[in-house]
Structure 1
Amino acid sequence: MDALRARIRAEGRNLGNGILKVDSIINHQLDPTLMLQIGESLAVYFRHLAVDRILTAEISGIVPAMMTGLALDVPVVYARKTKPITMAGPVFLETAPSHTKGIDVNLLVSAEFLPPDQNVLIIDDFLASGRTLQALARMVRSAESRVIGVGVVIEKSFEGGRELMRQAGYDIPIHALATISSMAAGQIIFADED
Structure 2
Amino acid sequence: MQLLQDRILKEGKYLNNGILRVDSFINHQVDPELMDACGAEFARSFANCKADRILTAEISGIAPALMAGKHLSLPVVYARKHKPVTMPDQVYFTVAPSHTKGHMVDLIVSPDYLPRGQKVLIIDDFLASGSTILGLVRLVQAAGAELVGIGALIEKSFEGGRKNLESFGVPIVSLVRIDSMEDGKIIFCD
Same fold (TM over 0.5): yes
Task: Give a deviation string over 1:65-96, Cα, whole Å, max 9, x none.
Answer: 00000100011000000001111132100100
Give the Cα–Cα distance (whole angstroms) in 2 for the partners of residues 36 and 146 of structure 1. Answer: 26
**Which residue does the alignment assign to 1:65?**
65
**Which residue does the alignment assign to 2:87?**
87
SS at match of 2:100: coil
Q: Does 1:170 align with 2:168?
A: yes
Structure 1 portions without partners, runs of 5+: none
Letter in 1 for 2:29: Q
**Which residue does the alignment assign to 2:140?**
140
Give the Cα–Cα distance (whole angstroms) in 2 for the partners of residues 190 and 151 of structure 1. Answer: 17
**Which residue does the alignment assign to 1:151?**
151
User: Alignment identity in percent?
Assistant: 55
Q: With structure 1 as the length reference, what TM-score do the two structures score?
A: 0.96
SS at match of 2:71: helix
Give the Cα–Cα distance (whole angstroms) in 2 for the partners of residues 53 and 43 of structure 1. Answer: 12
Task: Give a deviation string over 1:15-74, Cα, whole Å, max 9, x none.
Answer: 111000001110211111101001000011001111100000000100100000010001
After the TM superposition, which parts of structure 1 deviate over 6 Å for at least 4 consecutive aligned residues? none
**Which residue does the alignment assign to 1:44?**
44
**Which residue does the alignment assign to 2:77?**
77
SS at match of 1:70: helix
Aligned length: 190
Task: Give a deviation string over 1:78-116, Cα, whole Å, max 9, x none.
Answer: 000000111113210010011101000000000111000
Q: With structure 2 as the length reference, what TM-score do the two structures score?
A: 0.98
SS at match of 1:87: coil
**Which residue does the alignment assign to 2:188?**
190
Letter in 1 for 2:35: M
Superposed CA RMSD in Å reads: 0.7
Letter in 2 for 1:37: A
Give the Cα–Cα distance (whole angstroms) in 1 for the partners of residues 183 and 170 of structure 2. Answer: 33
Shift of 1:174: 0.3
Give the Cα–Cα distance (whole angstroms) in 2 for the partners of residues 153 and 9 of structure 1. Answer: 14
Give the Cα–Cα distance (whole angstroms) in 1 for the partners of residues 185 and 120 of structure 2. Answer: 35
**Which residue does the alignment assign to 1:98?**
98
**Which residue does the alignment assign to 1:12?**
12
